[in-house]
Amino acid sequence: MSDIDVLRDRMDEVTLKIIELLNTRTDIAKEIGQVKKNMGKGIADEAREDSLRASVITLCNNIGLDEAIATRFLNLLLNESIKVQQTNKQTHLSIFAKAKSLESQGKKIIHMEVGEPNFMPPDIVKKALGEVFEKGFLKYGQATGMPAFRQTLAGHTSERFNVDIKPDNILVSPGARFSIYAAITTLLNPGDEMIVIEPAWPAYKDCALNSGIKVRTISTTLENRWEPTLAQINALINPNTKMLVLNYPNNPTGKILNQTLQDDIITLARKASLYILSDEIYCQYAKTSPKSVLCYDYEKSIVTQSFSKSHAMTGFRIGYTIADCKIIEKMAKLQALCLTNVSEPMQYVAMKALKADISSNTNTVQDRLDVLTRKANEIGLDFVIPDGAMYLFARVNQEGFDGVRFANSALERGLAVAPGEGFGDYGNFVRISASQDENTLIEGMNILRDMVSDNQ
Ligand code: PMP
């Protein structure tokens, strides 16, 4: 046998051994998953992962292996463990699906689980829908979006945030959800790390997990008014860290960061050369206008926006990304691959919707949040008054309170709320959405009050 054949045989042997070990590791992960379930413990355990990461680094130092390769490999293993342990987590969407099914059987449900405004899109949208045919928006279009729409969005964004945004900095997407997926999967590689500050909208984590990207989470607390510290973020940054996700006004807490903290976070991310994915779809719903990440003029920032909430156009599936043109190009390639282009009739309609005055939506949502806040105070729930968005994230102070059980029994009483567990390790919280008119919200909160007092 030649030298290369001998080496290749050894290489095969080692590779097969690694696969066998992977099988053993996966079996152990499944068993651990079962034990965690029996103990009522969550799946991710950052402290445990940290200690394993430290052991891997020590081993790398001892045997002379590149730490970056080893930790990226470890990240893939950790993600696999999470995947095999993941049971059907109950989120706002699973409660929504159950609520819909109960409705189809004739049950009346008050929807306070999803962030879907119950008011109508602006009137101009109806007219624009009628114009689509005669204007000829009926054919394939550009993956990045209709030129006229990108131009309008660039102008609108520049004016709104006092920045200089060009059409090349805009990517029209079928909802901010796809913008987020495209940003995470095209800018990061398997084994890379992304920091998410919890509680958080679940899709950031799910998009990353789906693409082999490791999520490092920071759990913020109600006691600290949902603020992360710089030290917490700093402690997670290593050479594999590539992105920090921000979402203010936040879903589910409604929090807006104080500006000094936000400035410091951006400085830190810039120093570590991280992408900043700033999901700003709730910026229309805020007591005081939050500072957009666009204002920092950082070339690695990606800002997402949507018509879903601001214009009550959830079903139209229209959102957009604002970023450096090189980032837009990368994301557009994925969009071309997956979608060809976003439906042009919907782009046309959204372009027209931008002309509408939507300030009354902001007031409506704020009034509704005030109603929720008042009712939650009466019930004695623990929460931080939201600065914006359209939710109240509240803790029910009862021994052994379980948000999932609560959300399921609330359905039987005709109320849908989202269990806190969907947003991180917040099993004793529920998220209440301000998406109904005030009287309906009061009706829903009364059901919640009765349930809480029945549980005492
Ligand atoms: N980001 C956040 C924080 C959200 O809450 C949602 C939807 N609930 C989205 C993005 C997705 O919005 P879209 O409908 O534009 O896909």
Any idea where the domains of the chain sit in the sequence? 15-85, 92-119+359-455, 123-353
Phi and psi torsions of 415, nearest 5° = -130, 135
Measured from the Cα of 319, ligand 1's closest atom is: 15
Cβ atoms of residues 351 and 152 within 8 Å: yes
Say how many Å lie between the CA of residue 203 and the centre of ligand 1.
9
pLDDT at 51: 93
Say how many Å lie between the CA of residue 281 and the centre of ligand 1.
7
Mean pLDDT, the chain cut into blocks of 10 residues (456 residues total): 90 97 95 87 85 95 94 94 81 91 94 93 96 93 97 97 97 98 97 97 95 95 97 96 98 97 98 98 92 98 97 97 98 97 97 95 96 96 97 93 93 96 94 96 96 84
Amino acid at 210: N
Which residue carries 């999967």 as its tokens?
185
d(CA 253, CA 288): 16
Long-range contacts (CB closer than 8 Å, 24 or more residues apart) made by 447-455: 447/110, 447/410, 447/413, 447/414, 447/415, 448/379, 448/410, 448/415, 448/417, 449/375, 449/378, 449/379, 450/413, 451/406, 451/409, 451/410, 451/413, 452/379, 452/380, 452/381, 452/396, 452/398, 455/398, 455/401
Sheet holding 391-395, edge to edge: 110-112, 415-419, 429-433, 391-395
Q: Which CATH number fits domain 92-119+359-455: 3.90.1150.10, 3.60.10.10, 3.40.50.970, 3.20.20.120?
A: 3.90.1150.10
The residue nearest atom 12 of ligand 1, judged by CA position, is: 176
The binding-site residues of ligand 1, defined as CB within 6 angstroms of any ligand atom, are 115, 175-177, 201, 247, 251, 279, 281, 306, 308, 314, 319
Measured from the Cα of 179, ligand 1's closest atom is: 16
pLDDT in tens, 295-332: 999 999 999 999 999 999 999 999 999 999 999 999 99
pLDDT at 237: 96
Same fold, 15-85 and 92-119+359-455: no
Pocket mutation for ligand 1, best pick of 308, 318, 321 (most atoms within 8 Å of C-beta): 308
Measured from the Cα of 247, ligand 1's closest atom is: 3
Peptide bond connecting 174 to the previous residue in cis, omega within 30 degrees of 0: no
* CATH class (in words) of the domain with range 15-85: mainly alpha
Say how many Å lie between the CA of residue 176 and the centre of ligand 1.
6
Measured from the Cα of 279, ligand 1's closest atom is: 1
Say how many Å lie between the CA of residue 333 and the centre of ligand 1.
22
| Length of the chain as a residue count | 456
d(CA 274, CA 296): 14
Say how many Å lie between the CA of residue 227 and the centre of ligand 1.
21
d(CA 416, CA 112): 5
What is the Rg, in whole angstroms, of the alpha carbon atoms belonging to the chain? Answer: 24
Say how many Å lie between the CA of residue 243 and the centre of ligand 1.
19
Measured from the Cα of 282, ligand 1's closest atom is: 3
Pairing of strands 193-198, 214-219: parallel
Element (H, E) at 75: helix 67-85
Angle CA 207–217–63, to nearest 5: 95
Say how many Å lie between the CA of residue 177 and the centre of ligand 1.
6
Measured from the Cα of 180, ligand 1's closest atom is: 10
Q: Is 193 helix (H, G, I), strand (E, B) or coil?
A: strand
Say how many Å lie between the CA of residue 321 and the centre of ligand 1.
13
pLDDT at 93: 86
**What predicted TM-score, i.e. pTM, was given to this entire model?**
0.93
pLDDT at 154: 98
Say how many Å lie between the CA of residue 173 and the centre of ligand 1.
12
Pocket mutation for ligand 1, best pick of 201, 205, 316 (most atoms within 8 Å of C-beta): 201
The residue nearest atom 8 of ligand 1, judged by CA position, is: 115
Say how many Å lie between the CA of residue 358 and the centre of ligand 1.
18
State the fold for domain 123-353. Answer: Aspartate Aminotransferase; domain 2 (3.40.640)
